Structure 1
Amino acid sequence: MEMHFQYLDMRDADRVRCATYMLRDDVSLWWEGAAQGVNLATLTWDQFKDLFYDKYFPADVKGRLTMEFMSLRQKDSYVTEFIRKFDMGCHFVPIINRDTAEKLRHFMDGLRPTIGQDVMPMRPAGYDAANACAFQGGQALRDINVEMQRKRHQAQQSSHPSKR
Structure 2
Amino acid sequence: MDPKKFSGTSDPMTAEGLIKSFEVIFYFMELQDADRVIYATYLLLGDARLWWESASVAMNLQTLTLEGFKEVFYSKYFTEEVPYRLTREFMTLRQGDRSVAEFVRKLEQGCHFVPLIANDAREKLRHFLDGLRLILRHDVRVAGPTTYVVVMSRAMAAEQDQRDIDNDRYGKRLYQAPQQQQQFKRSF
Shorter-chain TM-score tier: 0.5 to 0.7
Aligned match of 2:91: 70
CA distance in 1, matches of 2:85, 2:152: 25
What is the letter of the counterpart of residue 113 of structure 1?
Answer: L
Task: Specify which of 143, 147, 165 is matched with residue 144 of structure 1.
Answer: 165
Aligned match of 2:145: 123
Contact (CA 8 Å) 1:96, 1:102: kept in 2 or not?
yes
Does structure 1 residue 13 correspond to structure 2 residue 27? yes
Query: 1:54–1:147: structure 2 CA closer, same or farther, 3 Å change rule?
Result: farther
1:37-76 to 2 correspondence within 5 Å?
A: 38-39=64-65, 55-76=76-97
RMSD after superposition: 3.9
Aligned match of 1:83: 104
Aligned match of 2:153: 132
Equivalenced residues, count: 150
How many percent identity over aligned positions? 38
What is the letter of the counterpart of residue 180 of structure 2?
Answer: S
Aligned match of 2:179: 158
Query: 1:11–1:60: structure 2 CA closer, same or farther, 3 Å change rule?
Result: closer
Contact (CA 8 Å) 1:122, 1:133: kept in 2 or not?
no
What is the letter of the counterpart of residue 125 of structure 2?
Answer: L
CA distance in 1, matches of 2:45, 2:156: 33
What is the letter of the counterpart of residue 28 of structure 2?
Answer: D
Contact (CA 8 Å) 1:69, 1:86: kept in 2 or not?
yes
What is the letter of the counterpart of residue 14 of structure 1?
Answer: F
CA drift at 1:86: 1.1
What is the letter of the counterpart of residue 65 of structure 1?
Answer: L
* Partner-residue secondary structure (3-state), 1:152: helix
Spell out structure 1 runs of 4+ moving beyond 4 A.
23-30, 50-55
1:92-131 to 2 correspondence within 5 Å?
A: 92-120=113-141, 121-125=143-147, 127-131=148-152
Q: Deviations over 1:76-96 (max 9, x none)?
A: 321112112111111121211
Provide structure 1 residue ranges, at least 5 long, that are not aligned to the other structure: none
Query: 1:24–1:80: structure 2 CA closer, same or farther, 3 Å change rule?
Result: farther
Q: Deviations over 1:88-121 (max 9, x none)?
A: 1111212111111111110111011211122122
CA drift at 1:12: 7.1
* Partner-residue secondary structure (3-state), 2:149: helix
Q: Deviations over 1:105-145 (max 9, x none)?
A: 101110112111221224232x2222111111111111111
* Partner-residue secondary structure (3-state), 1:160: helix
What is the letter of the counterpart of residue 83 of structure 2?
Answer: K
